[in-house]
Structure 1
Amino acid sequence: MTTALQQQVFALDARYNALRAPENPSIRTQYIRRRSQLLRETKRNLDQWKQYTKLRSMLLQKHYGNAKIDSESRSLSKTSILTENQTPVNQSSTTVIPTKQAVASKAIVGGNSIAENYAFSGVHHIFDQHAKAVTMVKFANNDRTKLCCSSGDCNLSICDVISEPPAVLAILKGHKKLVTAFDWSINNDLIASVSLDATIRLWKTNDFSCLRTLKEPNNSQILCCMFQTSNNNLILTGNCRVGGNVLCITSDNDGKILWAGNSKGEIVSISCELNGALCILRRFSYDSNCCVTNLSYRTWVSREARDPTLLVNATNNTVTLLLVNDNQGGVRCRRVFKNRHTKHMIKSTFCPIMSFREGACVVSGSEDGSVYFIDVEKTGPKAIVNTLQGHARTVLSVSFNYDESLLATSDLDGLVIIWKRGNVVQ
């Protein structure tokens, strides 16, 4: 409980941070880093923290007035911002995760509850190397330390989050406009990035040099990319002719089927050959009045459940689980959760090692500045197993390192917060 109150103080400072030293962003970042450090070091009892939080809120409001985020995004309670839609379309009655009888699987993670496993709370570090929104963060594959960030300032950065202190290893410069997306190759020796400047750049991670630059033939903006899972010599971009702007893509584990989400609220399944040949298979109309901003694929590899599932973010205020129900990539709706999301390119992610637990968790950013951990097998307010409140603006992207010891989140102000796993205080 004390940790939760410390986080509330940090969230309060973050909301007002944009009002501090408006002409000097570096001072604001130094301030919020120091506040995070002091909160971790200060020992208080429960009642003292409650009194301190209330008093600090009053003083900040008196000095700065109401922070903009209070009057709009924070007006809803935690339970009303993110609750399960009670009438999802074509919802399956079957479970999608290991059952209560999965004793061996639960033992692998110590038999902890899902809330205990995802009690992220402490701030490990704050990066501020980007001057504009950080559009995407992603840890290297099977790696605890390397994090890549892309930004609206036209640059990418590679960080070491474990070093003492955590450090920015390199700034990758070359794109002329906002960097929309990137992907690590399977062995992390390359990073592919795409941009509104209609180029694809391939970066070497050993010396941070640009290996190659490719121009989109029709000079169209490129909004997403990924390495082909089975053939890292191929880079797939959001240029398939499936209608609307292709905003996001993902693939199954073999790279044989892709799914593309577009600006017309559609999700299209596409077959992909090893030579790069593409063929449209299925078209799923998610919501014609919204944009599909993120797709993630996951198969629960366990004895109890093997259902392949897509995790979807869309600008109709939802986070959705779709069941992949045929070998052509067809999908049907399984579970819908509400989330503050109307216009930005918000992303979510599956938790990496949820296959071994009772319950399954996903994490999503939100336009209210919070990060939500959602147990996809629960309903209503109980679905929210944790909420991180440290960003003052929309949280655009989230990423776990492979062992779930750290979580990276990024926002519209260009801040990247590295959260560390905490302990639940009973």
Structure 2
Amino acid sequence: MAAVWQQVLAVDARYNAYRTSNFPQFRTQYIRRRSQLLRENAKGGFDPLLRRQYLKLRSQLLAQRYGPLSEQSSFRAYSNSIRSSRTTLDRMEDFDDDLRAQGARGHRRSVSRGSYQLQAQMNRATYEDKSPGSVVPTSVAEASRAMAGDTTLSENYAFAGMCHIFDQHVDKEVPKVQFANDDKNRLACCSLDGTVSIFQLVPTPPAVLRVLRGHSRGVTDFAWSISNDVIVTTSLDATMRIWATEDGKCIREIPDPDCSEVLCCTFQPMNNNLTVVGNSRQNVHVMNISTGKKVKGGSSKLTGHVLSLSFDSPGRILWAGDDRGSIFSFIFDMATGKLTKAKRLVVSEGSSITSISARSWISREARDPSLLVNACVNKLLLYRVVDNEGTLQLKRTFEIQQNSSPVHSIFCPLMSFRQGACVVTGSEDMCVYFFDVERATKAIVNKLQGHSAAVLDVSFNCDESLLASSDARGMVIIWRREQK
């Protein structure tokens, strides 16, 4: 039931920008009220089929009222709708918790004042904590615990074992594996054999949908577009390619501006027409994938080979890591695509920064923007983002084995509503580790064994029922979460 009403809220959020354009406060209040009503109705145990019919009719009515949003013109709207349907819901519920807490002390607020304070709270939320130093929900997060089933981290990250193994890239490193956006059953991986595979896990048995062929050397990284209709790949052959996922055809081949090996890429979250790439000439470039040209002012130089890239959720800050141990932050100009270098952090001189991941878990009380970093120092590093220039402050470290391999890690995106939050990483000891970021000791929540080489990347599907991991010998393993 929760999945259906979240989809309804996503549809409403997608069209919210068109409602009463002169009264943005009303749009905020409207989504808040819709969230409350949908949440309450979901508790009534209505027929799921009836709710899906409602979702379909609701979509048709909104399209009739405001006009259909074409796929090409709505990249940004679609991205905002997915984000709004979750983060807006979280912040609205958090505000309701505050109201109830203050109401218990005899305080009352008018609707207009409440709306104003809600807007102010949302504007501050990007760089604020509810409880200083914490990155997880507070003890009063009753709605959070209810949505997560009021279960512990260990229970939610108990995986029953291997669901499937893909081995068509055997003996060639698979540096990246990733599920499609908001998708349970479709994922892709790239390989140093020069290809990218797209898999479908349902219906069983899982199968390879298509293989993207065209690069003459190994594929180092790839990224799904927000709508999953396009994949961008980077390669040691000094090119990036744009692929249509529907038929696997190469839409465009774009040479690297410096004619050097392209090592990493990421889409601009608010404008999927722009992709940022990093290369072995120490340069970061913002590329327009429609024209195949780099954006004016969208280039900058690091101190070494650019190995990792990550935007924050609003797409305003870009972090880049290199093989000399430095992480740079850049301010991204939404209007022009220009990059402005802001801060530099030396994690460990000469130690490669192989993975950067901005916080993507959904926890309304976690006002602390965070960055998860893999560096070749045998530790997984969790940083706090302390200002709007991307300055980093070390919060926690977790012991793993990583001395030379390009290991990656991720935040658990969905289930971190309870007391505690989880991150997952690969490791050179051939294991996948789950860490609770709040435990002072014995932080390992789970440990998956099954790979025969260093685990290089991990990826959750949208509801965290499946986890994919890839290793240095070309194996991709799908793990299924144990159902309680």
C-alpha distance in 2 between matches for 1:158 and 1:334: 36
SS at match of 2:262: coil
C-alpha distance in 2 between matches for 1:181 and 1:213: 15
Shift in Å, 1:177: 1.1
Indicate the residue corresponding to 2:479 in structure 1.
419
The one-letter amino acid paired with 2:420 is G
1:130-188, Cα deviation, whole Å (9 max, x unpaired): 13111100000000011110001010000001221100001100111111100000110
Indicate the residue corresponding to 1:142 in structure 2.
182
1:383 equivalent in alignment to 2:443: yes
Shift in Å, 1:306: 1.0
Indicate the residue corresponding to 1:24 in structure 2.
none
C-alpha distance in 2 between matches for 1:108 and 1:304: 14
1:9-34, Cα deviation, whole Å (9 max, x unpaired): xxxxxxxxxxxxxxxxxxxxxxxxxx
Gaps of 5+ in 1: 1-91
1:91-125, Cα deviation, whole Å (9 max, x unpaired): x9721111233222011011011000000132111
SS at match of 2:151: coil
Indicate the residue corresponding to 1:190 in structure 2.
230
Question: Contact conserved, 1:181 with 1:224, CA < 8 A, in 2?
Answer: yes
The one-letter amino acid paired with 1:127 is F
Indicate the residue corresponding to 2:252 in structure 1.
212
Q: Which one of 152, 155, 160 corresponds to residue 200 of structure 2?
A: 160
Runs of at least 4 residues of structure 1 off by over 3 A?
A: 299-303
Indicate the residue corresponding to 2:405 in structure 1.
344
| Higher RCO (Cα < 8 Å, 6 or more apart) | 1
Q: Which one of 169, 190, 198 corresponds to residue 130 of structure 1?
A: 169
C-alpha distance in 2 between matches for 1:150 and 1:302: 31
C-alpha distance in 2 between matches for 1:410 and 1:108: 30
SS at match of 1:107: helix
Indicate the residue corresponding to 2:214 in structure 1.
174
SS at match of 1:104: helix
Q: Which one of 384, 393, 414 corresponds to residue 323 of structure 1?
A: 384
Indicate the residue corresponding to 1:267 in structure 2.
327
Shift in Å, 1:302: 3.9
C-alpha distance in 1 between matches for 2:225 and 2:365: 31
- Summarize the alignment of residues 29-108 of structure 1 with structure 2, pairs less than 5 Å apart: 94-108=133-147
The one-letter amino acid paired with 1:140 is A
Indicate the residue corresponding to 2:342 in structure 1.
281
The one-letter amino acid paired with 1:399 is S
The one-letter amino acid paired with 2:377 is N
C-alpha distance in 2 between matches for 1:423 and 1:143: 19
Question: Contact conserved, 2:303 with 2:324, CA < 8 A, in 1?
Answer: yes
1:332 equivalent in alignment to 2:372: no
The one-letter amino acid paired with 1:185 is S
C-alpha distance in 2 between matches for 1:300 and 1:411: 24
Indicate the residue corresponding to 1:49 in structure 2.
none
C-alpha distance in 1 between matches for 2:363 and 2:479: 28
Question: Contact conserved, 1:116 with 1:423, CA < 8 A, in 2?
Answer: no
1:339-384, Cα deviation, whole Å (9 max, x unpaired): 100011100011011442210000000000000000010123x200
The one-letter amino acid paired with 1:306 is R
Indicate the residue corresponding to 1:246 in structure 2.
306
Question: Contact conserved, 1:322 with 1:331, CA < 8 A, in 2?
Answer: yes
C-alpha distance in 2 between matches for 1:253 and 1:212: 27
SS at match of 2:146: helix
Question: Contact conserved, 1:299 with 1:307, CA < 8 A, in 2?
Answer: no
SS at match of 1:106: helix
C-alpha distance in 2 between matches for 1:106 and 1:259: 32
Question: Contact conserved, 2:429 with 2:453, CA < 8 A, in 1?
Answer: yes
TM-score by length of 2: 0.67
Q: Which one of 252, 260, 271 corresponds to residue 231 of structure 1?
A: 271
Question: Contact conserved, 2:361 with 2:411, CA < 8 A, in 1?
Answer: no
C-alpha distance in 1 between matches for 2:462 and 2:421: 16
Indicate the residue corresponding to 2:240 in structure 1.
200
C-alpha distance in 2 between matches for 1:262 and 1:117: 34
SS at match of 2:247: coil
C-alpha distance in 1 between matches for 2:322 and 2:136: 28
C-alpha distance in 2 between matches for 1:300 and 1:372: 17
Shift in Å, 1:301: 4.8
C-alpha distance in 2 between matches for 1:169 and 1:303: 37
SS at match of 1:235: strand
C-alpha distance in 1 between matches for 2:163 and 2:389: 43
Number of aligned residue pairs: give it. 332
C-alpha distance in 2 between matches for 1:303 and 1:138: 25
C-alpha distance in 1 between matches for 2:364 and 2:476: 37
SS at match of 1:305: coil
1:399 equivalent in alignment to 2:439: no
CA RMSD of aligned residues (A): 1.4
C-alpha distance in 1 between matches for 2:206 and 2:360: 33
C-alpha distance in 2 between matches for 1:118 and 1:185: 28
Shift in Å, 1:242: 1.5
C-alpha distance in 1 between matches for 2:187 and 2:363: 28
C-alpha distance in 2 between matches for 1:247 and 1:405: 29
SS at match of 2:404: coil
C-alpha distance in 2 between matches for 1:396 and 1:304: 31
Question: Contact conserved, 2:318 with 2:332, CA < 8 A, in 1?
Answer: yes
C-alpha distance in 1 between matches for 2:360 and 2:392: 14
Kindly, what percent of the aligned residue pairs are identical?
A: 50
The one-letter amino acid paired with 1:272 is F
Gaps of 5+ in 2: 1-130, 285-300
C-alpha distance in 2 between matches for 1:258 and 1:348: 17
C-alpha distance in 2 between matches for 1:176 and 1:138: 22
- Summarize the alignment of residues 349-368 of structure 1 with structure 2, pairs less than 5 Å apart: 349-368=410-429
C-alpha distance in 1 between matches for 2:457 and 2:136: 24
* CA shift in 2, pair 1:289/1:204, >3 Å: same
